[in-house]
Amino acid sequence: MNRTLGSWSLAAVALFGSFVAQAQDESDAPASKGRHLVQIGVFHVDTLDSSTPLRSHIQPGALAALGVQSDFTSDTTNKVGSSNTLALIYSYFLTDNLAIKFEGGIPAEFKLYGSGVVQPTGPLGSAVAVDLGSPDFNPLAKVTQWSPAILLQYYFRDAQEKIRPYVGVGATYTWFTDIKADEDFKNALNTRFGATLAAGNGKLGQSTTVDAAAADDLAPIFNMGVSAELSDRWSLSGSVSYTLLKTTANITIDAEDGTRLATSRTKLDLNPLVVAFVLGYRFDL
């Protein structure tokens, strides 16, 4: 019994000694300058969005005689839903307190929702009106957003501190792909707007097509967060970023022969608020 107790005591002393040695090694760890940091985690994106009313320009053709004007504005609004996606981040420490960061990951998918009625002027207006808020049409569209970003970050406190707040500023270039309008929404635009405008322009019986697009944008990013060191290599970080992101969304209707029958656009202030939680690994090359 005493021999066993003595063995456990020696093992405990040795284990304690190893923890002390590890702590000393970590406390003497090199400063952050020149080190690389890779992080993986989750982005949660909420858009603090607003939109302008939908403005439309159409080719009324013979319908102009019935009071259908070529330009009109509809009392509509659009809203973008939230999204979650994988975050991939790389940082390089220029000094103990200053780092340059590149953010990427899997592009986020967003859903666009609408409300209000698109209705041309004149007696035919109500006949071809489309309700953007109809449950059959929403979400109106789905879109994939690409937003790679570069930021310059300042870390407060000494490099050996376990908890380090930071702030950052940078920019992102954003573009949109895989824009898919709801099929019921597209069908309503084709059968009401498209067919009527085609007939008014001497293209009776021609099919029409609906396309959607969104403009690219270069936008500033403001970031703040805190990093908690788990060891010399591993860390956890949580942050919040705000981006002044804007885009213009366009919906077009074309006749079968390529004639542009209608263009509708709205300006969207997306202004995404991004919350990130990431696990990081720091290394030297």
| pLDDT at 153 (0 to 100) | 97
Same domain, yes or no: 63 and 25 = no
25 and 164, same domain (yes or no): no
Q: What does the pLDDT read at residue 11?
A: 41
Beta strand segments in the chain, E: 36-47, 50-51, 55-58, 71-73, 77-80, 83-93, 98-105, 108-115, 117-118, 130-131, 141-146, 149-155, 163-181, 208-214, 217-229, 234-243, 246-255, 260-269, 272-283
Residue-wise pLDDT for 152-177, tens only, equals 999 999 988 999 999 999 999 999 99
Reported pTM: 0.81
* The total number of structural domains that make up the chain: 2
Query: Are 15 and 151 part of one and the same domain?
Result: no
Reported confidence tier of residue 277, pLDDT bands at 50, 70, 90: very high
Assess contact for 149 and 122: CB atoms under 8 A. Answer: no
Report whether pLDDT(15) > 80: no
Statement to judge: residues 60 and 85 lie in one domain:
yes
Q: What CATH number has the domain bearing residue 193? A: 2.40.160.20
Same domain, 62 and 193: yes
Mean pLDDT (the chain) is 87
Residues 47 and 22 in one domain: no
Q: Which domain holds residue 199?
A: 32-283
18 and 37 in a single domain? The answer is no
Query: Which tokens in the block code for residue 16?
Result: 């304690």
Same-domain pairing of 70 and 21: no
Looking at the fold, whether 9 and 94 belong to one and the same domain comes out as: no
Same domain membership, residue 17 and residue 122 = no
Do 231 and 112 have their domain in common? yes
Residues 1 and 115 in one domain: no
